[in-house]
């Protein structure tokens, strides 16, 4: 049996799933710590990092070993990236800057095997974890246990949203808030009326098509606000930011005590 994809199962049940990203800390301790914290998934970012495939492979294997789902954001919507990270054992893939129905159809085909897709067939140890699985069973199960997330980051994607989400195979449409705000001419202003309207339109479209809306954001208030409005795939902050925030808070408190002791 292929490992069960817990985030995908929870989303199908209408639950919220939570995770955090890794973009700078090239350490397998990060997935271990995220698992201990109770996150459902670790978001391994190849788009805005210098991670090699070897680094990503190590993080994926560690994540699987501690029962936290590894989900990889590929640098671009290309077959080579999507197929490789899935062959390395990723339980989900996030594809940035998806703008048209044609792109969605292509991406879905990269996740599925013939006759429903074009993905090259292989049975890697990372996927089977050493189990002997008949190829036909493997192909059916691995596709069923793969989470596909597309990112909505351009005005063009908003215009094509209903047609894009009507294509079977997408599990999550996630807001790329910074890119979308830049494209709308309101860089970083997630509370701007145009941005709020855009986010609400993504949530509504997801509801219409029976898929989950997602948000990747570094601010807890923003995450919790939109979780209350229907976002269900939530990636909060990154390992580096969480470490910096905790360290900064510790230094602040210790300096305060030091100042009190010296008076």
CATH number reported for the structural domain that contains residue 201 in this entry: 3.20.20.60
Measure CA 164 to chain center.
Answer: 18
Domain residues for 16?
Answer: 6-257
Has residue 247 been placed in a domain?
Answer: yes
In a domain? residue 121 = yes
Residue 262 lies in a domain: no
On whether residue 178 sits in a domain, the answer given is yes
- What length does the chain have? 263
pTM of the model: 0.95
Give, for all 263 residues of the chain, the pLDDT tens digit: 899 999 999 999 999 999 999 999 999 999 999 999 999 999 999 999 999 999 999 999 999 999 999 999 999 999 999 999 999 999 999 999 999 999 999 999 999 999 999 999 999 999 999 999 999 999 989 999 999 999 999 999 999 999 999 999 999 999 999 999 999 999 999 999 999 999 999 999 999 999 999 999 999 999 999 999 999 999 999 999 999 999 999 999 999 977 766 65
Q: How many domains does the chain have?
A: 1
Indicate whether 46 belongs to any domain. yes
Rounded to a whole number of angstroms, the CA Rg of the chain reads 19
147 part of a folded domain: yes
Is residue 17 in a domain?
yes
Query: Could you tell me if residue 61 is inside a domain?
Result: yes
């Amino acid at each position: 049996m292929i490992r069960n994809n817990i985030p995908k199962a929870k989303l199908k049940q209408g639950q919220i799933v939570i995770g955090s990203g890794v973009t700078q800390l090239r350490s397998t301790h990060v997935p271990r710590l995220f698992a201990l914290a109770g996150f459902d998934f670790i978001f391994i970012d190849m788009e805005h990092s210098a991670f090699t495939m070897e680094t990503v492979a190590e993080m994926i294997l560690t994540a699987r070993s501690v029962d936290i789902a590894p989900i990889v954001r590929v640098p671009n919507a290309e077959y080579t990236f999507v197929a490789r990270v899935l062959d390395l054992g990723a339980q989900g893939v996030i594809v940035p800057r998806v703008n048209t129905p044609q792109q969605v159809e292509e991406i879905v085909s990269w996740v599925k095997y013939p006759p429903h897709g074009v993905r090259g067939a292989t049975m890697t140890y990372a996927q089977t974890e050493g189990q002997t699985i008949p190829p036909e069973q493997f192909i059916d199960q691995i596709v069923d246990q793969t989470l596909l997330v597309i990112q909505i980051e351009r005005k063009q994607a908003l215009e094509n949203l209903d047609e894009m989400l009507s294509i079977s195979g997408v599990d999550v449409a996630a807001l790329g808030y910074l890119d979308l705000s830049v494209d709308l001419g309101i860089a970083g202003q997630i509370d701007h009326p145009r941005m709020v309207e855009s986010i609400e339109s993504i949530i509504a479209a997801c509801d219409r098509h029976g898929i989950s809306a997602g948000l990747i954001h570094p601010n807890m208030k923003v995450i919790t606000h939109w979780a209350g409005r229907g976002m269900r795939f939530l990636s909060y902050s990154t390992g580096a930011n969480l470490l910096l925030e905790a360290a900064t808070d510790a230094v602040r408190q210790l300096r305060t005590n030091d100042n009190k002791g010296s008076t």
